[in-house]
Structure formats: C-alpha cells, structure tokens
C-alpha cells in the first residue's frame, strides 16, 4: 500500500487562537482513515486546509498528494486533483432536484451554453444507483431525509471523479440503519480504490470501519494507530483525545428522587399539515424531582414531536390531554407560557432552533431570560455580561470571551451555551432532545455532569436520545415510544438494550403497555414489568442494535 497523502507540520492561526500547531498526517492509498479528537481539537480545520477552504498562504506547512507538493487556492483546485470534502452541514439546495444538486457548478453541457438535462438526469440516475439510492433524479432534495441527502452528497463527489473523499461527521444526524448503509458504501468505495478520511465521534463506528486512526488534541497530533493492532481499543482513543483515562463513561450519581413534578396525561397530537394523521397517540408519562427520565424510540417514533408539542405547542394541531405540574393542571399555549411554568426545552437542532449563530455567546445565554435582566424595557448590559461570564465558568464553555460569536464555537461548546440559556430561566423541568449529538466523548461527560448537578438540586430532567447506552448510563427510568404510543416504562436497574429495542419496535396493534399508568411509588416509579409480546424477533432486534 502506497502513500496518497502527507500533511507535514501544518500550523493554522486565527486571531487570538492557534487552531493547528505542527500537525502531521499520513494516509495510505485505498484505506479508510479516521480522525478523532474533542470538539475544537482542530479536525475540521485540518480538513479545510487540505481541501482548499483555507487556501495556501493562510497556513504554514506542506501538503503532498501522490508525493508531489500541492498548493490549493480554492476548493475548485482540490477537486480538480480528486480531493472532495463533504461537510457536516450538507451543502445541498433543497428546492433544486437531485440531478441539479449533483451537477451544480459542474453542469452537463449540451449544445452551446445550454445544459443537456436528459444526459444529466441519466448520469444522475447512474450515480444514485452506485450509492444505493433509488430516487427519481428530478425529485427536489428538500423532500428527502437526511440519510438520503448524505448519499446524494457522495454521489456528487463521485461525479467529480473523487480519489480522496473527506467526510466530516457523516453519521452524526443519521439513524442506525442509515449509518450502516453509509458505512457499507464506504467499504464499497474502498474496494473500488477510493481513499476516505472520516471525522467521527462515534468510536464504535471507527472501530468497525477504520484501517487507521489519527488522534488530534488541542491542535496537535497525538498519535496515529493501526486499528488492526490489538492495543487499538476505544479506551486508548479516548485517552488520546481527552489526555486522561475516563474510568467511567457516565459520572456516578446517587438518586435522591422526590415527588412528581410534571405529569403528561393522555397526550394526543395530530400532524400539522395532515390533520387526520396521529403523531402522538394517547401518551402519558411523568418525571419526579431529582430524577432523570429517558425517552427512547426509533426515528419517526414521535419523540421530538412529543417534546415540542408540550413546550408551547411548537408542533402539531388538535392537541388534547392534560399537563399537571406540582399537582395542578396547567395550560401551555406558547413558549412564554412554558417558561413561566418552569419548563425548558433544549432542541435537537441547536444550529437551527437553539442558537442565533451570528450573535455572541452573551446574547445567546440571556435570550430566554431577558425579563430577568430588563427594567422598564431596557436590558442591563453589565448584568447580562456578568451572568454570561458566570455560566461560561460554571459550564466550562471554551471561548476566549463571551463576546465571541457563538457560530464559531465547537459543537460541544455550542451545546453548553444552549444549556446555559435554559438553565438561566431556572426551570423545574428541563427537556433535553439529543443533548450529546455530534459532540465528543469528553464533552459528553461534561454534559452528563451538568445533568447530575441539576437533579442534585432537585430539578427534573427528561432526556430524549437515540443512543441506548447513554439512556442506560444516565437515567433512572426509561419510557419507550413506538408509532406515537408509549409502549413501556422500565427502571434502569431492570433495563437492557435488547429489552428497550423490543419495546421500541412494537407494532400499533401489538398490545402496547397501557399509557395511563404513572409512577406512584418507589424512587424510580412502578416496577413496570413490561412483559409484552413483541412481534419482532430477537434476531431483528439484534440487527437493529448492530
């Protein structure tokens, strides 16, 4: 196996920050090379240097492709040499067709200046078949899910005769099935001789697919390891990423659970544009003071819809059911009502709904609690700055100053800003939707510690997560959701991934666990021996877990 890429002594500085310092990377031809590191370690910056996003002259060091030094001045230069990057934020135009997106900037010419759409659609269909996607090339991209859009990005790369494919967190927003499909496609491309570099925080995926892994910490190369080496364990990678051993992935906590703080009863929600369609069907659950309750479900089960409909009815129509807080029924019709009643919701999409990316950290933190800082319509700027600095220190937000633009922070630090925003409203109940999506293992540990601090102070926390080990590691009870119905409730002491998956895959007519039951006794609610007959075999359950 010969070397296709060498990056020697790469150093990249931004005003006041040295993002990369003397980084070295070697990639062999035809391999899948993983890059690991904490949020803010410099992984994406290094790949932007490689792909010409940061052109030659803005960094120090050398890039050698096939043994020849290259000096890319733009993405067009790198793509001309077969180096194509797919960013974490997909660069597709939702209103254009699949074919239009694939050939955008690389149009299929017909006679004169005209585009040959028949040829473009035909070629797009061939590329879609190559990535295993059965879609009409004329379909608008906005009508497709994230998993399919990721495959379209790869088809777009293949149209440019890619030799070195760079993928930045390609599975961060994908479900298990879409992730496995993508990994299978990378194996297929490897068999065709295409080299891939993948940035990922999912260590299990790296162990499954990578031939070698380079670890970066604080802008420096720590080591590159051969994944076939028996010593190349996840613990070794974690140690390299965070600079220390993590004896436990989840911080220990001794539960001190009190009375029911929030109870949602017989909650029913209809689709916002298809009123006849039930999205949430007679769901009931509760959460107690000092308790972490998890909600598990496959993609499309209705987890986010449930949370958003409760939090100020920001999703759905024809909503019915009761919300009881501290023993009294409350009415929540707006986000302001939810905040006033001590309920907060941290969205799963922090970039679109959780943050104002062009505003600074200070303003983002104060945004949901401006009423606490305002007097006669004027915000006390000094107090706002003081509050933001306090949260920066207590949540360990890594930023030179709270006046920094939040869009320039790493994913983990952005998530801490979202948490700070809602913690400042002093909620009694905090609903966290995929709180650790797209962040590294070290930042995850810090988020878990923040959750523990909240429940230790008597708050109630609801965590929605696609990662079953995460729910088992931080929760006291887990509810399962399938097809909009609560299908089970399991104390963590009795829960396993297989048991949760069995409940998460119950069909609508499979006799789901009654949803009206709420916790009335014990620290973790009722025993809830959810011995239900599942129509899904253990073999299928294992397949979903793999």
User: Are 3-242 and 248-342+428-546 equal in CATH topology?
Assistant: yes
pLDDT band at 366 (very low <50, low <70, confident <90, very high): very high
Other beta carbons within 10 Å of 509: 8
The residue-averaged pLDDT of 313-331 equals: 94
* pLDDT of res. 244: 61
Length of the chain counted residue by residue: 546
* pLDDT of res. 515: 37
Model confidence at 125: pLDDT above 60: yes
pLDDT band at 247 (very low <50, low <70, confident <90, very high): low
* pLDDT of res. 524: 32
More confident residue, 507 or 319: 319
pLDDT digits (tens, 9 = 90+) for 466-485: 888 899 999 999 999 999 99
Mean pLDDT of the chain: 86
Residue 409 and residue 399: Cα distance in Å, rounded? Answer: 7
What is the Cβ-side half-sphere exposure of residue 389, based on CA atoms within 13 angstroms? Answer: 7
Model confidence at 443: pLDDT above 50: yes
* pLDDT of res. 193: 93
* pLDDT of res. 508: 56
Q: Which fold has domain 3-242?
A: Rossmann fold (3.40.50)
* pLDDT of res. 54: 94
The residue-averaged pLDDT of 286-292 equals: 97
The residue-averaged pLDDT of 441-458 equals: 89
> 344 is written with which tokens?
């907060």
Architecture of 248-342+428-546 per CATH?
3-Layer(aba) Sandwich (3.40)
Residue with tokens 């107690």: 288
Angle between helices 538-545 and 497-504 (to 10 degrees): 110
Residue with tokens 């909650």: 267
* pLDDT of res. 442: 77
Q: Which of 174-188, 195-209, 258-272, 317-331 has the lowest mean pLDDT?
A: 174-188
Angle between helices 146-158 and 117-130 (to 10 degrees): 110
Name every residue whose Cβ is closer than 8 Å to that of residue 370 and which is 6 or more positions away in sequence. 379
85 backbone dihedrals φ, ψ, rounded to 5°: -110, 140
| Exposed / middle / buried, residue 497 (Cβ in 10 Å: 0-12, 13-18, 19+) | middle
| Exposed / middle / buried, residue 271 (Cβ in 10 Å: 0-12, 13-18, 19+) | middle
Model confidence at 264: pLDDT above 80: yes
Nearest CA-CA partner of 64 in 3, 20, 21: 3
Model confidence at 353: pLDDT above 90: no
pLDDT digits (tens, 9 = 90+) for 372-388: 998 888 999 999 999 99
Sign (positive or negative) of CA dihedral 49, 55, 59, 63: positive
Furthest CA-CA distance within the chain: 77
Name every residue whose Cβ is closer than 8 Å to that of residue 16 and which is 6 or more positions away in sequence. 400
- The helix (H) or strand (E) run that includes residue 318 is strand 317-325
* pLDDT of res. 246: 58
Angle at 207 (CA atoms; ends 204, 210), nearest 5 degrees: 130
| Exposed / middle / buried, residue 143 (Cβ in 10 Å: 0-12, 13-18, 19+) | exposed
Q: Domain residue spans in the chain?
A: 3-242, 248-342+428-546, 349-426
DSSP classification of residue 231 = T
* pLDDT of res. 275: 86
DSSP classification of residue 494 = G
Residue 381 and residue 385: Cα distance in Å, rounded? Answer: 6
The residue-averaged pLDDT of 331-344 equals: 95
- Judge contact between 436 and 444, C-beta under 8 A: yes
Alpha-carbon distances of 185 from 47, 58, 87, 194, 291, rounded to whole Å: 21, 34, 17, 11, 41
* pLDDT of res. 323: 97
The residue-averaged pLDDT of 401-421 equals: 90
Model confidence at 147: pLDDT above 50: yes
Name every residue whose Cβ is closer than 8 Å to that of residue 351 and which is 6 or more positions away in sequence. 89, 357, 414
The residue-averaged pLDDT of 351-377 equals: 91
pLDDT digits (tens, 9 = 90+) for 179-198: 888 899 999 999 999 999 99
* pLDDT of res. 1: 65
Alpha-carbon distances of 384 from 367, 389, 392, 416, rounded to whole Å: 10, 9, 12, 17
Residue 116 and residue 461: Cα distance in Å, rounded? Answer: 56
- Judge contact between 471 and 465, C-beta under 8 A: yes
Alpha-carbon distances of 451 from 120, 136, 366, 420, rounded to whole Å: 51, 45, 20, 12
3-state secondary structure of 226: strand
Model confidence at 88: pLDDT above 80: no
DSSP string covering 43-108: HHHHHHHHHTSS-TTSSEEEEEETTEE---SSHHHHHHTTEEEE-SS----TTSBHHHHHTTTS--
What is the Cβ-side half-sphere exposure of residue 32, based on CA atoms within 13 angstroms? Answer: 23
Q: Which of 102-111, 273-282, 372-381, 448-457 has the lowest mean pLDDT?
A: 102-111
Model confidence at 517: pLDDT above 80: no
Helix-strand-coil split of the chain, %, nearest 5: 35, 25, 40
Model confidence at 532: pLDDT above 80: no
Q: Which residues pair with 280 in a beta bridge?
A: 269
Model confidence at 533: pLDDT above 60: no
pLDDT band at 509 (very low <50, low <70, confident <90, very high): low
Angle between helices 176-191 and 538-545 (to 10 degrees): 70
């Amino acid at each position: 196996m010969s070397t296709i890429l060498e990056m020697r002594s790469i150093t990249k500085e931004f005003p006041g920050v040295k993002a990369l310092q003397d980084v070295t990377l070697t990639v062999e031809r035809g391999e899948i090379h993983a890059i690991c590191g904490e949020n803010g370690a410099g992984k994406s910056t290094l790949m932007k240097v490689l792909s010409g996003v940061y052109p030659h002259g803005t960094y120090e060091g050398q890039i050698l492709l096939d043994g020849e030094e290259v000096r890319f001045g733009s993405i067009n230069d790198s793509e001309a040499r077969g180096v194509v990057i797919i960013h974490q934020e997909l660069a597709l135009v939702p209103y254009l067709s699949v074919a239009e997106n694939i050939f955008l900037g690389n149009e299929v010419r017909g006679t004169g200046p005209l585009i040959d759409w028949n040829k473009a659609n035909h070629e797009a269909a061939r590329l879609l078949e190559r990535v295993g996607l059965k879609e009409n090339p004329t379909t608008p991209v906005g009508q497709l899910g994230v998993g399919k859009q990721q495959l379209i990005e790869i088809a777009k790369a293949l149209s440019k005769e890619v030799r070195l494919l760079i993928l930045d967190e390609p599975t961060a927003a994908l479900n298990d099935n879409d992730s496995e499909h993508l990994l299978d496609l990378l194996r297929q491309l490897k068999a065709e001789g295409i080299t891939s570099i993948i940035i990922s925080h999912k260590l299990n995926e790296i162990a499954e697919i990578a031939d070698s892994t380079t670890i970066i910490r604080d802008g420096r190369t720590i080591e590159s390891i051969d994944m076939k080496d028996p010593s190349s364990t996840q613990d070794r990678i974690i140690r390299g990423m965070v600079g220390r051993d993590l004896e436990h992935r989840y911080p220990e906590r001794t539960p001190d659970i009190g009375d029911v703080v929030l109870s949602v009863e017989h909650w029913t929600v209809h689709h916002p544009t298809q009123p006849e369609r039930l999205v949430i069907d007679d769901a009931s659950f509760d959460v107690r003071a000092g308790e972490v309750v998890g909600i598990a479900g496959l993609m499309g089960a209705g987890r986010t819809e449930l949370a958003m409909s409760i939090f100020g009815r920001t999703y759905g129509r024809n909503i019915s059911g009761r919300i009881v807080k501290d023993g009294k029924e409350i009415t929540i019709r707006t986000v302001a009502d939810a905040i006033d009643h001590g309920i907060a919701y941290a969205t799963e999409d922090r970039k679109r709904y959780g943050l104002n990316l062009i505003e600074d950290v200070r303003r983002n933190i104060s945004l949901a609690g401006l009423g606490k800082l305002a007097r006669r319509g004027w915000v006390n700027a000094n107090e706002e700055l003081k509050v933001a600095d306090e949260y920066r220190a207590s949540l360990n937000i890594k930023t030179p100053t709270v006046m920094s633009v939040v869009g320039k922070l790493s994913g983990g630090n952005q998530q801490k800003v979202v948490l700070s925003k809602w913690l400042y409203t002093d909620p009694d109940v905090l609903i966290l939707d995929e709180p650790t999506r797209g962040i590294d293992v070290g930042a995850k540990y810090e988020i878990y510690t923040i959750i523990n601090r909240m429940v230790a102070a008597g708050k109630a926390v609801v965590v929605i997560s696609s990662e079953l080990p995460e729910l088992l590691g931080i929760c006291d009870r887990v509810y399962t959701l399938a097809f909009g119905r609560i299908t089970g409730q399991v104390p963590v002491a009795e829960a396993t991934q297989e048991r949760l998956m069995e409940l998460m895959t119950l069909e609508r007519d499979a006799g789901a666990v009654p949803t009206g039951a709420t916790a009335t006794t014990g620290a973790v609610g009722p025993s809830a021996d959810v011995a239900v007959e599942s129509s899904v075999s253990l073999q299928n359950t294992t397949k979903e877990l793999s």
